[in-house]
Each structure stands twice: as structure tokens, then as C-alpha cells.
């Protein structure tokens, strides 16, 4: 069977395999944020703290990456270090997965890549920082993250702090609507904007309670409506950046990317690194705080989903 063949590329860590066998809740985590989204050593430190917090809340974390040509679901501390430190990991979205597997390589999975692997491993909840989306100026560049197409077809719930306003958030939400991807929000009515709480755009449905989120998701999938669900959680107030300041910095980073001719998969890592420098490192603290908060929201959702299996 196709699914069995695909599953033969997977290696589950012992804790993930044990949790799965016992029917305990699992939370997938991406690795592009570790390898390409944050600098060392904060990336590895954050990855470990996020995993610990998910465990405290009763779910098992499963960080996803490709190591030695295998899809690895659940990483050891040494493997997190390898990804965070080597600078050698490929950035793996849907189109890159066969290349890195076939060549026996090392790679970090994006939102799209992680969703594919999570679905293969039977994991329903995935926690990330921010979604990829429709880039500003996409009418000329056609730069639309493969994350959005993945949400359209792969049945995993993705917890995020919305999307950055380096993207065109309005068009990102339009794209998701076209593809039938529900955008849920907790703690507020509006979709979050990563460094700031409010994107200025309403989410489709506000569901603060994990049990209500779980019922929504179960109902979607029970109806045979395959595809993802976005759950937006705003960065905690104390860690949010002043809107004016971050907007000006993002404009500058975007202008630099354009003038330097940065294109394709290099765009998002370039912008993240420039924003960190231009904020004097403060954007990194915000990024870490929002990922930890997302981990809490995701762990509670995974626990609630496990309690309402159909
Ligand atoms: N947004 C962030 N941090 C990240 C990313 C997005 O704040 O690390 C990563 C995620 O892995 C996301 C990917 O899936 O960038 C999107 O890349 P692209 O725009 O090239 O599709
Ligand atoms: Mn892109």
C-alpha cells in the first residue's frame, strides 16, 4: 500500500513510538525554525524548552527532520544540536523532501514539510511560530509559500502566531479561504501578526477553549473534509513588539531583500535574520516567547483531541 511504503521512510523515536502505542497525545514540531529561523544557541535552547513544556502539559513532543535520509519523528538532544549548529541542513518543503531523502541528506522541515511528515506518522497537531504565506508583491513574483497548498490538502491542525506582516496577510487569508482552510483564533477575534497581536484581519472563528477547538477539527475531518486547520494564538502581551517599530523594520528588510535580488526559498530566512539584526535582537525574544505560548496552546489541543476520538 502507498501509505505503508511511505511509512517505511519514517523512524519514530522511542518516546514517540511509546506515546503512539499508548494512544497518548502527540505534538509535531518543525525544524526549519531551528535550522533557518533562529540563531544558535537560542534555537536549540528554545527547541528543548518547547519540548519540555509540551511534556509538562501531558503530550509528547515530536520534532520532525530528515537525518541520514530518514524522516525522523522525535529527536534526541544531540540531534537538535546537530540541526541547530551545523548550518548544513537543507530547507525542506514539499518539493524538496524526495531530494533530501533520496540523497541520504540532512534537512529541516518547513510548515509544509512537517505537515506531510506528521500526517504520515498519524500526528494531528503541529506547533510552529509563523505560517508562510502570500508575499507582498506576489502579483509580480508569484511568491506564495507552499505552506498554504499543504494546508489545503493535508489533515493536520497547525498552531501558529498568525503570519508576519512581511507577508500580505490579507491575501494569505483570502488564499486560505479559497482552499477551504478554516482559520481559528484563540484569545482574540483577530488573526495574529507574529511580532504583534493584531493583524487587523478577523479570523474565521474564535474558539478559546481547547475542547471546542477539538470538536471543530474532529467535525471537519469526520465530514471527510480533508485538509488542515489553522489555529492562531497571539504573542503574549508582555513580549509583543511595538507595531510602528516592527513595521518600519520589516519595510527596510523587504527593501534590502529586493535590492539584493534575494528570491525563492532564501527570502524568508533572509528577512528573519535581517529583522533580528535591525531590532538589536529583540525580535528574537518575541519569537521565542510566541513559540513557547503556541506550544502550550498546541499541547492543550492535542490533549483535547485525544479525549474526543471518533
Ligand atoms: N516564519 C517564521 N519563522 C520561520 C518560518 C516562517 O517566523 O522559521 C519558516 C517556516 O518553516 C515556514 C517557512 O514554513 O519559513 C516558509 O518558507 P517559504 O516562505 O520559503 O515557504
Ligand atoms: Mn517563497
| Cα–Cα dist 218/31, whole Å | 27
Distance from residue 261's CA to the centre of ligand 1 (Å): 19
Give the 3-state secondary structure of residue 144: strand
Distance from residue 102's CA to the centre of ligand 1 (Å): 23
* Phi, psi angle pair for 69, to nearest 5°: 70, 20
| 13 labelled ligand-binding | no
Which residue's CA is minimally distant from atom 10 of ligand 1?
110
Query: What is the predicted pLDDT for the residue at 3?
Result: 67
The β-bridge relationship of strands 229-232 and 157-160 is parallel
Distance from residue 143's CA to the centre of ligand 1 (Å): 13
* pLDDT for residue 259 is more than 80: yes
pTM higher than the cut 0.90: yes
128 alpha-carbon distance from chain centroid: 3
Pocket test for ligand 1, best of 64, 132, 160 (most atoms within 8 A of CB): 132
Atom of ligand 1 nearest to the CA of 194: 7
Q: Which cell is 7 given?
A: 511509512
| 93 labelled ligand-binding | no
Q: 27 near 60, Cβ under 8 Å?
A: yes
* pLDDT for residue 11 is more than 60: yes
**Which residues' Cβ are closer than 6 Å to ligand 1?**
30, 32-33, 36-37, 93, 110-111, 129-130, 132, 145-147, 164, 194, 265, 268, 272
Q: 88 near 34, Cβ under 8 Å?
A: no
Atom of ligand 1 nearest to the CA of 112: 14
pLDDT tens per residue, range 125-167: 999 999 999 999 999 999 999 999 999 999 999 999 999 988 9
Confidence band of 173 (pLDDT split at 50, 70, 90)? very high
Distance from residue 268's CA to the centre of ligand 1 (Å): 6
pLDDT tens per residue, range 264-278: 999 999 999 999 999
Contacts of 72 (CB under 8 A, 6+ apart): 11, 13, 64, 65, 66, 79
Q: Give the end-to-end CA distance of the chain in Å, rounded to a whole number.
A: 24
Q: How many CB atoms lie within 10 A of CB 255?
A: 10
The β-bridge relationship of strands 60-67 and 70-73 is antiparallel
Which residue's CA is minimally distant from atom 7 of ligand 1?
130
| Cα–Cα dist 273/149, whole Å | 25
| 143 labelled ligand-binding | yes
| Cα–Cα dist 212/231, whole Å | 12
Q: Tell me how many degrees the CA angle 30-189-167 measures, rounded to the nearest 5.
A: 50
ipTM of the complex: 0.96
* pLDDT for residue 309 is more than 80: no
Which residue's CA is minimally distant from atom 1 of ligand 1?
130
Query: What is the predicted pLDDT for the residue at 310?
Result: 61
| 147 labelled ligand-binding | yes
Q: Which cell is 182 given?
A: 478554516
Pocket test for ligand 1, best of 29, 30, 32 (most atoms within 8 A of CB): 32
Amino acid at each position: 500500500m502507498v501509505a505503508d511504503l511511505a511509512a517505511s521512510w519514517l523512524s519514530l523515536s522511542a518516546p514517540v513510538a511509546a506515546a503512539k502505542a499508548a494512544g497518548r497525545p502527540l505534538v509535531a514540531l518543525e525544524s526549519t525554525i531551528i535550522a533557518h529561523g533562529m540563531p544558535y544557541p537560542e534555537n536549540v535552547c528554545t527547541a528543548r524548552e518547547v519540548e519540555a513544556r509540551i511534556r509538562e502539559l501531558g503530550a509528547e513532543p515530536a520534532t520532525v527532520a530528515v537525518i541520514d535520509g530518514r524522516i525522523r519523528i522525535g529527536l534526541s538532544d544531540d540531534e537538535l544540536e546537530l540541526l541547530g549548529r551545523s548550518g548544513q541542513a537543507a530547507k525542506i518543503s514539499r518539493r524538496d523532501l524526495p531530494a533530501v531523502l533520496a540523497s541520504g541528506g540532512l534537512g529541516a522541515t518547513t510548515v509544509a514539510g512537517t505537515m506531510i511528515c506528521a500526517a504520515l506518522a498519524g500526528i494531528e497537531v503541529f506547533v510552529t511560530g509563523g505560517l508562510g504565506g502570500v508575499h507582498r508583491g506576489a502579483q509580480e513574483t508569484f511568491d506564495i509559500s507552499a505552506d498554504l497548498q499543504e494546508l489545503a490538502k493535508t489533515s493536520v491542525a497547525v498552531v501558529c502566531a498568525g503570519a508576519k506582516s512581511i507577508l500580505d496577510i490579507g491575501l494569505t487569508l483570502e488564499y486560505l479561504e479559497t482552499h477551504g482552510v478554516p482559520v481559528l483564533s484563540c484569545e482574540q477575534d483577530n488573526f495574529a501578526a507574529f511580532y504583534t497581536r493584531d493583524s487587523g484581519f478577523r479570523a474565521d472563528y474564535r474558539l478559546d477553549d481547547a475542547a471546542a477547538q477539538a470538536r471543530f477539527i474532529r467535525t471537519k475531518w469526520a465530514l471527510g473534509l480533508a485538509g488542515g486547520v489553522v489555529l492562531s494564538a497571539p504573542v503574549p502581551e508582555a513580549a509583543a513588539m511595538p507595531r510602528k517599530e516592527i513595521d518600519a523594520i520589516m519595510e527596510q528588510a523587504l527593501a534590502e531583500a529586493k535590492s539584493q535580488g534575494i528570491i525563492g526559498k532564501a527570502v524568508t530566512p533572509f528577512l528573519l535574520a535581517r529583522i533580528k539584526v535591525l531590532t538589536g535582537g529583540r525580535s528574537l525574544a518575541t519569537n521565542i516567547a510566541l513559540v513557547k505560548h503556541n506550544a502550550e496552546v498546541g499541547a492543550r489541543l492535542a490533549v483535547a483531541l485525544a479525549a474526543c476520538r471518533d
